[in-house]
Amino acid sequence: MKKTTHFCLKKELVKLFHSNVWKAIFLLISVFCFNSFIFNNSFYFLVIWIVTFIGYLTIGENKIKSLLVFLLPVFIFFILFKIKSVNYVDNTKIEGICKIKQVKESYIVIGWNSFDFYLSKPKAVDLKIGDQFKFDGFVKKLVSNSNYYEFDFVKFLNKKFVFYELKVSDIKKVESKNLKTVIFWLFNRVSFSDLTRFFWLPEKFKSKELNNLLIENNISYISNSCILLLIPLINLSFKKTKNKLFNFKNIILTVIALVIYLQLENLLLLRILIFWILKSLYKNKSNKILNLLTIYLMICLKPNYIFSTGFIYISVIYTLSCFLPKKNKKYLNFIFFYFLFMGLNMYFNYNINPMTNFIALILIPIFNIFGVCSLIFDGIGVNNNALYLSLFRLVSWITKFGINFNIGKIEIWFILTYMIVLTVLFNKQLLDLKTNIISFITIILAISLLYLLKPNHNLAMLNVGNANSFVYHNKWNNVTIIFDAGTGKNKSTELVTSFLKYYGINKIDMIAISHYHEDHYNNLFSLQENFKINLFVNKDNFKEVYKIKNVIIRFFNDPSASSENNQSIIPFIDVGNFRALFMGDAEQPTENHLMHRIDFINYLNLKRVDLLQVGHHGSKTSSSLEFLKFINPKNAFISGTDEGGNKIFPHKQTIDNLNFLKIPYFITQSKNNWFFNILSKSITKK
């Protein structure tokens, strides 16, 4: 049998340039370019549409190369026009008429002069995709302030070719009609139930409860899977149609693809439909060739598709499948792709859930049944709220069988090793006892190395703005303790959760909240939803001493304090020869109280403080010179930043006090995460 290699498609790809399959490509491109012309009123889309449609109608097999040569400069010119570099200077004023390309809860993306801009969603104006409005505003470059372990919204926008924010001073809606606004009007015109909206309409029309449940389990891609039911129904309806390109089946599939492209923005569904359109046109072409053409078309239609995880998934699957023997049994291929998906999920989501794919397989037929029922019930006017509630309860019950385990950030070398070993194990031509042993040893060594490279034993001060979030973690003893869990202005309430997932932490031994100001606890709800928390401590329920394995935590407070800040509970944490002291938002009255407490003085004298969390973000109302001299810490952490006005932290007086006593200090300043290594007592930032 001929050996399968990367170049097994070479002969077929050469033949492709002499095949009418390109006619289908020209037809699809012409359809989408026609829509883009209507939507953007762009002369360039009009030119491409005319050229590709004429090519589709007239071209023969012997003329394909000449047409490609003719189209190449057109496409190059179009691409250069779309991605031409413009370096806007901040506060550059622009004005004109723009069109809305994307609408989210808190922001919109607009297109103007061939560029896309981010814009905070105006509250007073009702906006939808395809609308036009007259604007007057200033341009500002989008700059990321995200931590390395959390979702980077600016990077996400950059992948959609959005690099600038538009600060508008005035907007005025302009009446306009195009395919997008017409489809949106139709969606709003018809009264759909929540169940129908969930299965058949775009995300912005869905109710959040059920959709969020799927997102939490990394299976949100199946919500519109009912649409794929239309493919076998259409194939069955037009089974005897002989006309290859102009039959109703292809027209209907193209219309569905057009709707998905314009409104659903579901790249997975769009890719599947394009594949089936090509498959119905050219049944004699292999699936590998059709997949290649599908990827090509997806990049033409959605250039940012190349940045999506879907593109990476299909590229990896396509590449590795070339190495699998053609005579592999189906169940072996199923197991191979199951473990491949699991590995990719580990890389992108920092966790492993062996049941995710099975849950998706179970839910898809259930969704298909409920999806059909939703249309029937809506059609005959029957209320299906009870059906929606039943589905929600069923999905909640099924997803409980998922086993989520955080494994943390996986390096690229590990996932590449994993895929290579997996491919070798499922290739019978390469498989023997020696190969098996080497493969298993390689995986064990890679997992061990990945674990050893993770941080060992440290105390982290997270970059949370003017707020407090400190995480103590000992990898060897599997101990995690959080001192305050808050974030400040423009920081995510999922930030601490993201940090723990990034480092593969699955349980929290203790969370201690110093006091009840939001900037010290607003991440608590996310932590409760995502982690098992063994012990929760606050100012109303704390005991004096806690011992968690080799960690001793001793709490103090000022029982006579009246202000919320001064009621902060103040813990010492002792681990071996390391000691830290957390002041929360305690101010000088509490500091004076502590300096006169015999038990506090005696406990302080037992061991010098290696690390002091400076109170109240370095405010001038805290950290007096006398108190700092009294504590005499070796190092100081300050969680604060300059927000302007009366939110400038740390205060100059606090810095002067630290400098006078020659205490090294480390500030987050909305850009630094500081780590104190317990073993080496060194401090690093990341």
Domain ranges of the chain: 6-83, 92-181, 219-321, 457-685
Between residues 490 and 437, the one the model is more confident about: 490
> In the predicted model, is pLDDT for residue 373 greater than 80?
yes
Taking Cα atoms as reference points, which of 34, 85, 24 lies closest to residue 59?
A: 24
Report, as an integer, the average pLDDT of 366-381.
86
The 8-class DSSP code of residue 88 comes to P
* Mean pLDDT calculated for residue range 515-523: 96
pLDDT above 80: residue 529? yes
**Which residue has better confidence, 651 or 77?**
651
More confident residue, 81 or 172: 172
Residue with tokens 């009418």: 20
Residue-wise pLDDT for 9-57, tens only, equals 444 444 444 445 556 566 656 655 665 565 455 666 667 767 766 666 5
Report the share of the chain in percent with pLDDT over 90: 33
pLDDT of 296-307, one tens digit each?
777 777 777 777
Estimate to the nearest angstrom the gap between the alpha carbon of 610 and the chain centroid: 37
> Backbone phi, then psi, for 218, in 5-degree steps?
60, 35
Can you tell me the distance from the alpha carbon of 151 to that of 495, in angstroms, rounded to the nearest whole number? 9
Mean pLDDT of 417-436: 75
Selected residue with higher pLDDT from 2 and 628: 628
CATH 1.20.950 fits 92-181, yes or no: no
Phi-psi region at 27: left, alpha or beta (left = phi > 0; alpha = psi -120 to 50): alpha
Least confident of 96-105, 152-161, 183-192, 358-367: 183-192
Tell me the pLDDT tens digit for each residue of 151-200.
888 888 887 878 899 988 777 777 766 666 666 666 666 677 888 888 87
CATH number of 457-685: 3.60.15.10
How much of the chain, in percent, has pLDDT values that exceed 70?
Answer: 79
For 548-578, write each residue's pLDDT tens digit. Answer: 999 999 999 999 999 999 999 999 999 999 9
Averaged pLDDT score across all residues of the chain = 81
* pLDDT tens figures, 613-658: 999 999 999 999 999 999 999 999 999 998 877 788 899 999 999 9
Same fold, 92-181 and 457-685: no
Q: Are 349 and 218 in contact (CB under 8 A)?
A: yes
Flag whether the pTM goes above 0.85.
no
Q: What is the pLDDT of residues 217-267, one digit of tens each?
A: 888 878 878 877 777 777 666 665 555 544 566 666 677 766 666 665 677
3-state DSSP helix/strand/coil % of the chain, to nearest 5: 50, 15, 35
Range of 172-176, 368-372, 682-686 with top mean pLDDT: 682-686
* Contacts of residue 380, Cβ cutoff 8 Å, sequence gap at least 6: none
As a whole number of angstroms, the distance between CA 597 and CA 372 comes to 72
- The more confidently predicted of residues 165 and 420 is 165
